[in-house]
Amino acid sequence: MAGLLAKFGHYTHAVVRGIPSSLATEALRSSEAEVDLTRARQEHADYVEVLRTRLGLEVVELPADEALPDCVFVEDAAVVCGDTALITRPGAVSRRGETEAMKEALKKLDLNLVEMTDENATLDGGDVLFTGQEFFVGLSKRTNQRGAEILADAFKDYAVSTVPVTEGLHLKSFCSMGGPGLIIIGASEHAQKALKTMQQMSNYRYDKLTVPDDLAANCIYMNLPGKGHVLLHSTGDTFPESFKVLEKLTDCTLIAVSGSEKMKVDGALTCCSILINKKTDI
Ligand code: GLY
């Protein structure tokens, strides 16, 4: 397992998708905040540019689909680990169509596809935390036990544990990996409780970094050739207090990425890309 952890965060490709105009009015959301579409598109273009130019990933950009207002949140449509891609069955009916384009894109990348066809199963990728050693799957409004069981079948090399998500949209709405063995977690009571559950269920030891804002705990960790450890995180404008905590991470390159418009429709940084490692030897 140590060998697998050594490759944790290695990526060569990213799949992203454009923002349809329908996001502004029809994307699912928990608040009534109004989305500035122009700003959301600019933020997304900046995010994609970081992946492509600053980090050197090969980016596959799927076109936006007006009939799928949430389609920019590609993470929910598939879970990729190694050379296997699980095409999910998203919990929201309005989002089920998002998997079609994702399936085609991942097929072209020569991944082994597993499709979640069981009509009793639901799973959003935002509920899936891969630590490099095991999976945690949030049981939320979007993801159920059957979905977690199918994920466990698809990725048999890893243990899969479930965690109740009692508030917020997804498991990763309040946590993510900050590096091998490091979980970044929000300060809210439900986030801390979920972390305790994960620690109790695991055979591994994880360090934690608590940030005051739950959504600021959603970061993207990568370990890239020639770049080393990199952490994409929300900007200081969006979360000033959490920014101060993240700034203390001195052993990685910190890249601040703005996503405040997408947050109005419950989108976080990890939601907007599927990261893939096509080179097993880097
Ligand atoms: N707007 C993201 C979601 O609710 O799935």
CATH of the domain at 140: 3.75.10.10
Q: How many Cβ atoms sit within 10 Å of the Cβ of residue 183?
A: 22
What φ, ψ does residue 137 adopt, rounded to 5°? -120, 120
pLDDT at 250: 92
Q: Is the pLDDT of residue 1 over 80?
A: no
Please report the pLDDT score of residue 119 as a whole number. 98
Helix residue ranges, H only, 180-265 = 189-201, 240-246, 260-263
271 is catalytic: yes
| 137 alpha-carbon distance from chain centroid | 12
Percentage of residues in the chain having pLDDT higher than 70: 98
User: Is 281 part of any domain?
Assistant: no
| 152 ligand 1 Cβ < 6 A | no
Return the ligand 1 atom nearest residue 27 CA: 1
Asked if residue 261 belongs to a domain, the reply is yes
- Confidence class for position 100, pLDDT limits 50, 70, 90: very high
For the cut 70, the answer to whether the pLDDT of residue 3 exceeds it is: no
Domain contains 227: yes
pLDDT score of 131 more than 80: yes
Residue 282 pLDDT grade (very low, low, confident, very high; cuts 50, 70, 90): very low
For residue 5, what pLDDT is reported? 77
Average pLDDT over residues 171-200: 98
**Predicted structure pTM score:** 0.97
On whether residue 210 sits in a domain, the answer given is yes
269 in any annotated domain? yes
Count of structural domains, the chain: 1
Domain that holds residue 266: 2-276
What pLDDT score was predicted for residue 7? 85
Atom 3 (ligand 1) nearest CA = 28
The answer as to whether 157 is a domain residue is yes
Question: Is residue 133 a part of any domain in this protein?
Answer: yes
Query: Is residue 75 in a domain?
Result: yes
From 13, 71, 81, 170, the catalytic residue: 170
Using a 6 Å cutoff on CB, does residue 73 contact ligand 1? Answer: yes
Is ligand 1 within 6 A of the CB of residue 103? Answer: no
Cα–Cα dist 55/124, whole Å? 26
Q: Compute how many other C-beta atoms are within 10 angstroms of the C-beta atom of residue 136.
A: 25
Stretch 96-114: mean pLDDT: 98
